Amino acid sequence: MSDSSRTYLTTPIYYATGDPHIGHAYTTFLADTLARYHRQTGARVRFLTGTDEHGQKIQEEATRRGVEPQQLCDEMARRFKKAWEELDIEYDRFIRTTEDEHRQVVRSFLRRLHERDLIYRDTYRGWYCVHEERYWTEKDITPEGNCPDCHRPVREIEEQNYFFRMSRFQKDLIRHIEGHPGWIVPEVRRNEVLGFLQNPLSDLSISRPRHRVKWGIPLPFDEEHVTYVWVDALINYVTASGAIHPGRPAEGEGFDDVTGSWWPADLHLIGKDILTTHAVYWPTLLLGVGLPLPRRILAHGWWTVGRDKMSKSLGNVVDPLALRDEFGTDAVRWYLMREMPTGGDASYTPERFLIRYDELANVLGNLASRATSMIARYREGIVPAARGVGLAEEIESTLESFHRSMLALKLHEALGAAMDLARLGNGYVETREPWALAKDPDRADELDEVLASLHRGLVVLSALLFPVMPRKMRVLAQTLGLGGVPTLEDAIAMKLEGIRVSKGDPLFPKAEKVRAEVGRV
């Protein structure tokens, strides 16, 4: 990221018609882990998430439930906030597209495009999917007449809409992508976008007539049309940045000077299914109004169950809160971040979840239990002074690998490096045999080195793993005698000699014990 002193991270804003599921949780955990990591390094962070609350799908779902659209949105926003609170998501801003501030920013944004002659009115005829809120051409839809994405029936619609001259910015966008190889990650997604842009880019329909869709933000130049929900939703990233100041044309609304705001975003985190909207629609809209482009886009893969994509329509969605109830929030966070190669797909199976959980219990938890028990037994719970280098080289190497992987957005590799340090710690115990050293008074200095090295390694691990497992790492830090989880810098530099450790319950109980406690087979 271009400025290490500040980081603006965003998730997609989630559509307010369904409960949070593992797909939402993964993207949000990813953002939360990165946000906590950057805070650990001393950066100012703005982590944005929220709910997308306009469009025909909301309107129809509210009608189906017999409530007003705003009531539905209020209820769903509460559910998302509650889920993120229970899953320890520490966002800085939760935006809702029904907020007045956002409505005003959207209208300012569209007014700017209109004033620049980048919007025109025309007739559109095509196949419309309400669920996906998008049009398809004849060649796009399936032979059965269904949406190619969600496989629901589409409707043939002909109507007057307003269009954004997106095609005008095709060459500019291609130049930007080719000139910034790391702008879209992973590379396979970058290649997908460049492949998409090999064909002529159509203009983008940005409105829906109010006689068909009432629930939306009216266009500032035609109140009988509302803003297309995707355009409305994308602009949330700018709204939350504080870059645009509607109603202050004399002082400038912010389009020509974003100084003092959080714009541009340092990283948009999205699923690969919304790559085109974020890597084509969104940057061309920004080019249209003259705002800087986001600095990076990460399009992660899908969670699958067996061979199928996890989706509500297929009825195979895993509830992250159910996993949390059984194994704890941090175990869910660990599994999701550790299992999926960032940018790729991953398959959810109970067996893989238990393998990753056992990693926590048998490697990290075992090391913590052994180290604190030996310090308690051999040094009355007081951390001794190290007489040699111990694990210093291994810790330094781990830190380098961890930072390199995190900055490359390869979180699974960063967490793997941290877990490898825990494995090295367990191997160090087996090699140095502190129980044997304790029997020989002449080797007291060697025993001190081993115990101090293990303690230092665990202090560093608490800092490394705090972004992904904040709750458990606070417990570990307390067990190690610390007032809280240290920053990465302090974990290396702080004086640990003389600190009193404590023995507590296992950091991660064995899976069999967890299942027995919740009464499950």
Whole-angstrom Cα distance, residue 323 to residue 320? 5
More confident residue, 519 or 304: 304
Residue pLDDT, tens place only, 97-147? 999 999 999 999 999 999 999 999 998 777 888 777 777 877 788 888 888
The architecture of the domain spanning 328-517 is: Orthogonal Bundle (1.10)
Whole-angstrom Cα distance, residue 383 to residue 501? 7
Whole-angstrom Cα distance, residue 196 to residue 147? 19
Q: Which residues contact 108 (CB under 8 A, 6 or more apart)?
A: 220, 244, 246, 247, 253
Token pair of 485 as six digits: 């989880």
pLDDT of residue 2: 42
Whole-angstrom Cα distance, residue 90 to residue 463? 17
Ranges of CATH 1.10.730.10 domains, the chain: 328-517
Mean pLDDT over residues 509-513, rounded? 79
pLDDT of residue 108: 95
Residue pLDDT, tens place only, 380-418? 999 999 888 899 999 999 999 999 999 999 999 999 999
Compute CA distances 62 → 68, 133, 215, 363, whole Å: 6, 16, 10, 49
pLDDT of residue 521: 34
Helix, strand, coil percent values for the chain (each to nearest 5):
50, 15, 35
Q: What's the chain's average pLDDT?
A: 91
Residue pLDDT, tens place only, 336-381? 999 988 888 888 778 888 899 999 999 999 999 999 999 999 999 9
Q: What is the DSSP letter of 500?
A: B
Q: How confident is the model at residue 249 (pLDDT cuts 50, 70, 90)?
A: low
Identify the CATH homologous superfamily for domain 6-300.
HUPs (3.40.50.620)
Residue pLDDT, tens place only, 58-81? 999 999 999 999 999 999 999 999
Q: Tell me the residue length of the chain.
A: 521
Look at residue 1 and tell me whether its pLDDT is greater than 50. Answer: no
Look at residue 516 and tell me whether its pLDDT is greater than 80. Answer: no
pLDDT of residue 518: 54
Ranges of CATH 3.40.50.620 domains, the chain: 6-300
129, 150 contact by CB (below 8 A): yes
Whole-angstrom Cα distance, residue 386 to residue 499? 13
Whole-angstrom Cα distance, residue 13 to residue 11? 6
